[in-house]
A and B are shown apart, each in its own frame.
Chain A
Amino acid sequence: MERIYDDILHEEIYVNSYTNGLKAFVIKKKNFSKVFAGYATKYGSVDNKFVHPKTNEVVEVPEGIAHFLEHKLFEEQEGNVFDRFAKFGAMANAFTSFKETVYYFISTQNFYENLEILLDFVQNPYFTDQNVEKEKGIIAQEIRMYQDNPNWRVYFNLLNALYVNHPVKIDIAGTLESIQRITKDDLYLCYNTFYHPSNMIIVVCGDVEPQKVFDMIERMEKTKEYQSLIERMYTEEPPGVNQKRIEVKLAISNPIFYIGFKDTLNDLPPYEMMMKDIHTQILSEIIFGKSTDFYESLYKEGLINQNFGFEYTCEPEYSFFMIGGESKDPDKVYERVLEHIEDIKRRGIDKEEFERAKKVVLGSHLRKFDNPEKLSVEFIYSYFKGVNIFEYVKEISSVSFEMCEKRLKEFFNESTSCISIVWPAD
């Protein structure tokens, strides 16, 4: 067991590694009443094509399978896992994102009993033809619910416009059609490939005893042998965008839009990825933040409202920046965003704005440490990218003005941008 204490953040973290490749972390939160425990696998909606570790054959599975698997893992021969968690008072759930699936519970009592259940059920799949069929009805309703959600639609439409081939453009839950093709055997195949300890981590955050947690994991781990790295296959992605514009109509009141910028500088080593992420965050705060003249003037002209916001997603194979909200004239906003970027590129960035932006970015990251759930999820995302979230926060202060200027020159180009709009239906 290794202990890391960060005297700037006042955070304490314990790490333990196991012979089968599993890693476990305890983020100590003294005097908190709730504990979060997450069992995560580096496996998400983008992992539809991979090399089978045993047969070495290339396998392609239906879209939405990682999410389907997440639903099904809660099922047990004797009923479902919620029965067991309910007894010990944990709120258990799971989520699937592009690159990870996380099973977790939050408890304020009986922590070790609940941890035992988590460790047990994630390692014991139980799929039958019948229970797989039954789940299709539930997931179909989940997909339909999201189809009515304008924010979800505008987001995935943007990804569809940004990416030509990369599976990040596919809805996490798959489609009404693709989930029908999923079978029990597909689920077992994916489970056996991606739910290996070497591809997983466990994160616990709360006021618990690290050694006790690590011992319990040691005792509960079923798989003992090591597995080599899983080879995932993504079709090559060209640098340009798939389409410049994507529109759809839904029963909403005012147009909703996202403008996207595709980042072509991908596949960097983890540290450089992290720095690129931080630079882009600070830079975008300088360009589009709420204290800029740009924001103020768009707001005053009624082109944007309080819902206006932006976000940068930074992954090894795909990175993109998006900015948007509600507007009566999304195309006008798009035009103004592009003009503004050109203007900043000409003028350069202001030192005072740079210092202020750094404070904003630092504050927003420190906020995450107050919520065990958010902190753990953030930790998992970063860890799978090869980055430690503690280091991440420390690096924000070290960023220099010149680094941000350099990033400005290489990113935010008109040619790799596009717009997604959801219009109100008549």
Chain B
Amino acid sequence: MRKVQKISSNNNHYMAFCDDRFKINRVVVTFVDRLEREKNTKNALFPMVLVRGNNKYKDMKEINRVLDNMYGAILSIDIDKKGDLQIITFGLSFLNDRFAGEQLFEKALLFLRDIIYGPIEYGGGFEQEVIEQEKNNLKQEIESRINDKVQYAIDRCIEIMFEGQSYALYEKGNVEDLESITKDDLFSQYKKVVEKKPMYVMVYGDYNEEYAISKAEEVFGRKERENIKNNFSINIPFNSTRYVTEEMEVNQGKISLGIRTNVDTTTSDYYKLLMLNGILGASPKSKLFENVREKASLCYYAFSRVDRFKPVMVISSGIEVENYEKALNLILQQIEDIKNGNISDIEYESAINYYKTALMAIYDSPRDLLGFYFNQALVDEMTEPKDVFERLKTIKISEIQDVANRFELDTVYFLRSRGAM
């Protein structure tokens, strides 16, 4: 794989990755905005309206026909949260020219531009009827968060932990805010984002890299854009652990622990935290898997996750409601063990090997690779997956212990079934 990168002073970022191993190429255009209550719902809504058509492609059917004719190209919208940032991504994956028997790259770039900038370039704005339909779809999407109980319990834990802070906001917005969004509000927020906010254009495919990057730049241009940075700190003082229980019609209880790691993830301490995470609940021989699942037989899953953009760790497991105390104590015991340096060779090795496999596997997935470099760009680091592994290898047990000793258990959230305990 060959890589070219261009970052301009005015926040237009271009990256090209050229590789002939794949049958599918990928183009991604991402905008970054601050995650704030007054606009997060609008930012989630306008991409949904854009893919409904514009003056060039009059409706979804026309858009989908173009995609179908590109051998079932897939147009996707992703709305993410990274720290206090809201990330809006338009992605297009399409068949490599060699297999399509025709040139699709330039077609794909132009098509994506027509989707994103169509309403501005071809005039016409948004249609009220389409806005109403998509408001309804977005409402359903936000409401359907409760369908996935594992993720829901994690999200609720974060919401409680960060109450009043922007990190507590859901990346796709709030149902209460939807109603009041007018056509003009939405259009003006849309224009602000696609014309003024930092833009990242990333292409992955079987081309000459100079050609790919200059073509992408030619199509998406260079506008004067704002500089937006993430806030990596938590911003709320820690008093004592909060215990919150909520009830729902569920078969299995879900426990989520929100931990303040007190680790500055923009420094090399982040790598110590990563190793801790591997040992605690990410690797196949992690303490949580081994002791909560395998030995105590309390659950089917128990894992931990760290955030690159906030000093937070979340631990999650699904248990019988009556085992709440037992499971909570056992989970906390695993952290205590790490604090005391009680880490076996196999646990350490398993974590390091887990990361090696996970990091090297990134090279085999264009989607993962683009995601990796985008995250790196947001933290102003330009390390490669393999460099991350090199850094992890140097982490000592005492450093992991040191990180564990900074932990503060902020919130314990329990989603349980209705009725007596």
Contact = CB atoms under 8 A, between A and B. Distances in A.
Given A30-B21, A141-B299, A366-B24, A86 B133 contact: no
Given A30-B21, A291-B68, A369-B23, A109 B95 contact: no
Contacts of A344: none
Contacts of B61: 291-293, 295-296
A246 interface: no
Contacts of B73: 363
B297 A134 contact: yes
Contact of B357 (A109, A357, A366, A370): A109
Interface range on chain B: under 10, 10 to 19, 20 to 34, or 35 or more? 35 or more
A418 interface: no
A82 to B, nearest CB: 5
Interface string A169-202: 0000000000000000000000000000000000
A299 B60 contact: yes
Contact of B353 (A29, A33, A88): A88
A83 interface: yes
Nearest to A151: B147
Nearest to B366: A370
Given A108-B356, A109-B357, A144-B251, A150 B147 contact: yes
A350 interface: no
B136 A302 contact: yes
A367 B100 CA distance: 12
A138 interface: yes
A359 B284 contact: no
A89 B353 contact: yes
A366 B99 contact: yes
A106 B361 contact: yes
B356 A109 contact: yes
A362 B349 contact: no
Interface stretch (A52-60, A247-255, A262-270): A247-255
Nearest to B363: A33
A371 B365 contact: yes
Contacts of A326: 140, 144
Q: Is the interface of B mostly helix, strand, loop or mixed?
A: helix
Nearest to B299: A141
Interface in B22-80: 22-24, 59-61, 64-65, 67-73
Contacts of A252: 144, 146-147
A305 interface: yes
A239 interface: no
B253 to A, nearest CB: 9
B71 A106 contact: no
B297 A137 contact: yes
B149 A148 contact: yes
Contacts of B248: 251
Given A92-B284, A141-B299, A362-B71, A251 B319 contact: no
A377 B93 CA distance: 22
Contacts of A137: 297-298
A370 B300 contact: no
Contacts of B356: 89, 108-109
A252 B284 CA distance: 32
7 contacts: A83-B346, A137-B297, A138-B297, A138-B300, A252-B147, A363-B95, A366-B24
Interface of A: 10, 29-34, 80, 82-83, 85-92, 106-109, 134-135, 137-139, 141-142, 144-145, 147-151, 249-254, 256, 289-293, 295-296, 299-300, 302, 305-306, 326, 356-357, 359-364, 366-367, 369-372, 425
The 10 nearest A-B residue pairs measured at CB: A89-B353, A363-B72, A363-B71, A137-B297, A86-B350, A108-B360, A253-B143, A360-B72, A291-B64, A142-B300
Given A82-B284, A83-B346, A85-B284, 19 more contacts: A33-B364, A86-B285, A86-B346, A86-B354, A90-B357, A91-B357, A108-B360, A144-B252, A144-B320, A145-B318, A149-B148, A149-B149, A253-B146, A296-B60, A299-B133, A305-B137, A366-B24, A366-B71, A366-B99
